[in-house]
Amino acid sequence: MNEIVRQRLWQINREFYDRFAAQFAATRFGAQPGWERLAPHLPPICRALDVGCGNGRFAQFLDQRLQQVTYTGLDGSERLAALARRRAASLTRTQAAFHVVDLAQPGWELPYRGACDLTAALAVAHHIPGAAARAAFVQAAASCLAPAGLLILSTWRFLHLPRLRRKLVGWETVGLDAAAVEPGDYLLDWQAGNQPGLRYVHQVEAVEIAEWAERAGLTLIEQFQADGREGDLSLYSLFRRD
């Protein structure tokens, strides 16, 4: 993918989350059903890194399920990070910190390499433009794990859902040619009242996830579908560092 196009796609998502942070966070207030299936695998005392943490609701989930958590949330949106810090005031068993980090810039993972029992990237990888960049992102996330640490990925399966397919819009909407993006790349419309908001999304297939794992030295522990009205919006992949 042309680097100019790739940066344009990053910018589309940055603008979305900056503009709709409050409205978006208001729709993300509880634990996802898929998280409950992950809970038995999580260590009771945990150093956790939440990459693309949004409003910090995964920190609340860990706080409710585990004995003690040292949690770091990273997000590219200052507005979402501010909302997460406010929500963290209710945590009782979790020491939480939130940082604004541009995940498009190489090296975001360096302060956390080898330090985490758990790294989560929930509904993040499908927003990263470019196949090579997605693979590099997963490698970076995996590098944050201590030996035998766990990596949790979730990615959307939106193409098979008619209600989400109706929200896809053409690339001409943002002045791009379809030939400039990669197969599986789409624009997804999200409405907040009467205000349209566009996000770049990639339909991640299981074969791509397997390639990420191989490159990052990860062993697949469990993979399943959950979430959404239909119960299969997200594909969860739980890995252990080799």
Per residue of the chain (242 residues), give pLDDT as tens: 899 999 999 999 999 988 886 676 666 667 899 999 999 999 999 999 999 999 999 999 999 999 999 999 999 999 899 999 999 999 999 999 999 999 999 999 999 999 999 999 999 999 999 999 999 999 999 999 999 999 999 999 999 999 999 999 999 999 999 999 999 999 999 865 566 789 999 999 999 999 999 999 999 999 999 999 999 999 999 999 98
- Domain membership flag for residue 115: yes
Q: Is 63 helix (H, G, I), strand (E, B) or coil?
A: helix
pLDDT value of position 25: 60
pLDDT value of position 18: 86
Containing structural domain, residue 90: 3-158+204-241
pLDDT value of position 24: 64
| Domain CATH code at residue 139 | 3.40.50.150
**Which tokens in the block code for residue 197?**
């908001």
- Domain membership flag for residue 226: yes
Contacts 24+ apart (CB under 8 A), 223-227: 224/34, 224/37, 225/157, 226/32, 226/33, 226/34, 226/37, 227/32, 227/33, 227/34, 227/154
- Domain membership flag for residue 55: yes
Type of residue found at 127: H
- Domain membership flag for residue 14: yes
Structural domains in the chain (count): 1
Rounded-to-integer distance, Cα 38 and Cα 22, Å: 27
- Domain membership flag for residue 78: yes
pLDDT value of position 19: 86
- Domain membership flag for residue 177: no
pLDDT value of position 190: 82
pLDDT value of position 20: 80
Rounded-to-integer distance, Cα 145 and Cα 140, Å: 10
- Domain membership flag for residue 196: no
- Domain membership flag for residue 193: no
